[in-house]
Amino acid sequence: MNAPVDPKKLIKGGLHDWEVVVGMEVHAQVSSRAKLFSGASTEFGAEPNDHVSLVDAAMPGMLPVINQECIAQAVRTGLGLKARINRRSVFDRKNYFYPDLPQGYQISQYKDPIVGEGEVLVDMLDGTSITVGIERLHLEQDAGKSLHDQDPTKSFVDLNRSGVALMEIVSRPDLRSSEEAKAYVTKLRTILRYLGTCDGDMEKGSLRADVNVSVRRPGEPLGTRCEIKNVNSIRFIGQAIETEARRQIAILEDGGSIDQETRLFDPGKGETRSMRSKEEAHDYRYFPDPDLLPLEFDQAYVDALAAGLPELPDAKKARFVKDYGLSPYDAGVLVAERASADYYEAVAKGRDGKAAANWVINELFGRLNKEGLSIESTPVSADQLGAIVDLIGEGVISGKIAKDLFEIVWTEGGDPRALVESRGMKQVTDTGAIEAAIDQIIAANPDKVAQAKEKPTLLGWFVGQTMKATGGKANPAAVNALLKDKLGIA
């Protein structure tokens, strides 16, 4: 929390430099078929109130019964965050009134959460990494959804989300910039997706964050914080922090003070504004839910879940660096999504790991991004891309032709090896044929030949002409060697 201050992260105010301090509460929807305490479906996008049980609608006399898969998912997540698993935890009622909360309280965990302290290792773009402390993770119910734009005087309430299981993951105030905050949520999302405990779909609200922001002069105690509620994209998290930090700095430099309050980020206007009406509701009067016994399990249960965890991104990244000789950066790009990492491994298996990484990252990811496609919907399979890498490795095609071949496989599909044969894309390594082409070019350009003796960089022009004359199929190494020889360039 009091790590040395990096001057690059400071925000310049009118008078001083300021350090921003950020902590986050991330609400991650648990991946499960049914809700936390009822048998209604969690599926997104149903007709209004179609996925609602009598428990979710808080009909009198209904009792909650916990979904054991939600417990397992919370424990798996705790293990993935290297956190302490609490074998005894308690569900409490958090009391407040809102139309989309029919019980009048949210079942949550207050003093005794299911998961305690852990940590997340976050890699930054500049190659450094930070460790973000996790304070706790607890299970709670989601609320329903209110629509305010359907009628001038009425709000419409849909309880389909009511009772869906959420994991609230609370970080320590260990983040020192909007970049760090964004990287933290990105990493957390990656871990959750690897674990399969949350789909991380921010557009559907599966992952949203409450962001606590304060500022201070470097070395001073923590400033008063404001909580920005319900930010639902990683980009907005960055914007909300920047906006809020600057608002606070302006107030402090003006001689004012910060009121601790809940605020809302408006991406359209690029501002945060106070939600004063929420303040009074903050007296939640937590107490243990008398409808639910304490949640207890033994170490064997935790161990069994631990044994079933997949390889997590940090371990996978380290393995990619070690086994495939990748740079930490490339390995980081490949492990960001489990599907990407799996695809890469299928291509790299039995091949040059670096060449495979270059093709997956530069050509495939580049093309997928351009088309707005995910790795799951790639038209080029790992087998096909692997064959292209093989053809280059064997010297059958040049790197340049390989790109043309990739394009053909992308748009038309087919077996790369057969395509190379049928379309005559094989690299020409027959020096006789290359020599003939070079001789023609030399004969046609006596002036350039003369210049090249003075200016060896002209070699590039000759290489270009030769490649053109051979339809790009000449072996570049052979072309270079022959040209140097014939032009008399050392």
Partner 1 sequence: MSVDEKTVRRIAHLARIAVTDDEVGPLQGELNAILAFVEQLGAVDVSGVEPMTSVTPMAMKKREDVVTEGGRAAEMVANAPETEDNYFLVPKVVE
Q: Which residue has the tokens 């371990």?
A: 315
Which two tokens mark 388? 């292209």
Which segment (140-148, 347-355, 418-426, 468-476) binds partner 1 by CB under 8 A? Answer: 140-148
Which segment (244-252, 275-283, 326-334, 349-357) binds partner 1 by CB under 8 A? Answer: 275-283
Applying CB under 8 A, among 5, 264, 302, 487 the residue interacting with partner 1 is 264
Question: Which of residues 290 and 446 has its CB atom nearest to partner 1 in the complex?
Answer: 290
Question: Is residue 294 exposed (0-12), middle (13-18) or buried (19+ Cβ within 10 Å)?
Answer: exposed
Residue 304 found at the interface with partner 1 (CB under 8 A): no
Compute how many residues bind partner 1; rule: CB under 8 A: 55
- Residue 7: DSSP 8-state: G
Asked whether 282 and 288 are in contact (CB, 8 A), the reply is no
Residue 298 found at the interface with partner 1 (CB under 8 A): no
Rounded Cα distance between 165 and 65, Å, is 12
Applying CB under 8 A, among 292, 321, 355, 463 the residue interacting with partner 1 is 292
Residue 156 found at the interface with partner 1 (CB under 8 A): yes
Q: State phi, psi for 21 to the nearest 5 degrees.
A: -120, 125
Tell me the closest approach of the beta carbon of residue 283 to partner 1, in angstroms.
6
Half-sphere exposure of 442 (CA within 13 A, CB side): 18
Residue 296 found at the interface with partner 1 (CB under 8 A): yes
Tell me the closest approach of the beta carbon of residue 369 to partner 1, in angstroms.
35
Between the CA of residue 12 and those of 19, 59, 215, 257, what are the distances in Å?
9, 55, 12, 18
Q: Which of 187, 184, 124 has its CA nearest to residue 314?
A: 187
Applying CB under 8 A, among 126, 254, 283, 454 the residue interacting with partner 1 is 283
Residue 270 found at the interface with partner 1 (CB under 8 A): no
Rounded Cα distance between 426 and 412, Å, is 19
Applying CB under 8 A, among 152, 221, 268, 446 the residue interacting with partner 1 is 152
Rounded Cα distance between 476 and 124, Å, is 38
Tell me the closest approach of the beta carbon of residue 376 to partner 1, in angstroms.
24
Tell me the closest approach of the beta carbon of residue 86 to partner 1, in angstroms.
14
Residue 147 found at the interface with partner 1 (CB under 8 A): yes
Residue 373 found at the interface with partner 1 (CB under 8 A): no
Residue 48 found at the interface with partner 1 (CB under 8 A): yes
**To the nearest 10°, the Cα dihedral for 388, 389, 392, 397?**
10
Instruction: Report strand pairing: 17-29 vs 262-266.
Output: unpaired
Question: Which of residues 232 and 358 has its CB atom nearest to partner 1 in the complex?
Answer: 232
Q: What is the largest CA-CA distance in the chain?
A: 98
Rounded Cα distance between 7 and 5, Å, is 6
Which segment (115-123, 171-179, 280-288, 460-468) binds partner 1 by CB under 8 A? Answer: 280-288
Residue 476 found at the interface with partner 1 (CB under 8 A): no
Applying CB under 8 A, among 41, 129, 232, 381 the residue interacting with partner 1 is 41
Question: Which of residues 285 and 423 has its CB atom nearest to partner 1 in the complex?
Answer: 285
Applying CB under 8 A, among 8, 12, 148, 269 the residue interacting with partner 1 is 148
Q: Which amino acid is at 5?
A: V
Question: Which of residues 288 and 328 has its CB atom nearest to partner 1 in the complex?
Answer: 288
Tell me the closest approach of the beta carbon of residue 29 to partner 1, in angstroms.
14
Tell me the closest approach of the beta carbon of residue 313 to partner 1, in angstroms.
26
Q: Considering only residues 51 through 90, tell me which ones interact with partner 1, judged by CB under 8 A.
A: 51-54, 57, 65-71, 90
Taken as a whole, the chain contains a residue count of: 490
Tell me the closest approach of the beta carbon of residue 80 to partner 1, in angstroms.
19
Residue 166 found at the interface with partner 1 (CB under 8 A): no
Q: Considering only residues 94 through 113, tell me which ones interact with partner 1, judged by CB under 8 A.
A: 95, 97-99
469-481 in b/e form (b: 16+ CB < 10 A) is bbebbbbeebbbe
DSSP 352-385: -HHHHHHIIIIIIIHHHHHHT--GGG-SS-HHHH
Helix axes 338-348, 313-324, angle to 10 degrees: 20
Question: What is the helix (H) or strand (E) element at residue 426, kind and residue range?
Answer: none
Q: Which residues make up the interface to partner 1 (CB under 8 A)?
A: 32-34, 38-41, 46-54, 57, 65-71, 90, 95, 97-99, 146-148, 150-159, 264, 275, 277-278, 283, 285, 288, 290, 292-296
